[in-house]
Copies of this chain bind each other. A is one copy, B any other.
């Protein structure tokens, strides 16, 4: 689009006060760069992701849901480091100037900005096939971030929330792009576990968010930490809504490999068992102990104490 059209568009939809208010900026959008102050003693945590229509979301989903889902997926990366959100930039590629889409998208961003305390610092809009690149920035006390490479033998393996709901929700959204069921909401509006990530600072030895599926993501932890793990299948958290929608065998598959739940998978020394139970109760958030970190490399499954071979259809890559 023309530069002048782009300026109008940015002003109307992306320079709304509610998008800039959550975290102060020394200089907000509208110049060549934004200028940001990082508090002393904190490190900047950054992550960037692109979501493409037809691959990561459906182009006919309500625009507010698209915005929420894109920002949530990025915020989840901050959560997995224990970082506090501060700012994001947005590069929005749009096939045409569609006011309804832009208003809905902007409203979705405002909702997320207000809910999670993150401000829009800049970016651009471009004409082209619908795609959204977001970079989130936050901060974390220097040296304390949760990494993937710190898991220790003997750690418990935990996961927050329920697994497989997003994959189940995607099926609902395919049936009806404007679906509003619990599962559909888990797909289009996942909850970045920011408070949990920050609470885990100084406690967890490792953490990752479940974006590619539990097996792959826990696989990164054990591979980078040079350890192994055994998962107890009967401990996988399955929501009653997912249980009602898909057969039992499929539930487990979705929980292990479905991906995009944006829950946290983390490893905690045994001493924190009472504290994490208290956290779960206080925040009314299921937190399930699903396995153990072990010295032998690789990932193993068991059910009720019996070893189960790794199914072929779960996309598990032996590292």
Contact = CB atoms under 8 A, between A and B. Distances in A.
A52 to B, nearest CB: 4
Contacts of A135: 48, 89, 91, 135
A4 interface: yes
A224 B27 CA distance: 14
A315 B45 CA distance: 40
Contacts of A51: 126
B52 A127 contact: yes
A173 interface: no
Interface string A25-69: 011001111111110100111111111101110000000000000
Interface residues of A, number: 66
- What is the oligomeric copy number? 2
A111 to B, nearest CB: 22
A143 to B, nearest CB: 8
A186 interface: no
A48 B129 contact: no
B31 A43 contact: no
Contacts of A44: 35-38, 44
B129 A128 contact: yes
Contacts of A271: none
Contact of A142 (B32, B37, B128): B37
Interface of A: 2-4, 26-27, 30-38, 40, 43-52, 54-56, 77-78, 80-81, 83, 87, 89-93, 121-124, 126-129, 131, 133, 135, 137-138, 140, 142, 145, 147-149, 207-209, 212, 216, 224, 315, 317
Given A2-B315, A31-B148, A50-B126, 16 more contacts: A4-B315, A27-B147, A31-B149, A32-B81, A33-B46, A33-B83, A33-B145, A36-B46, A38-B38, A47-B122, A49-B91, A50-B133, A54-B128, A55-B126, A129-B129, A133-B133
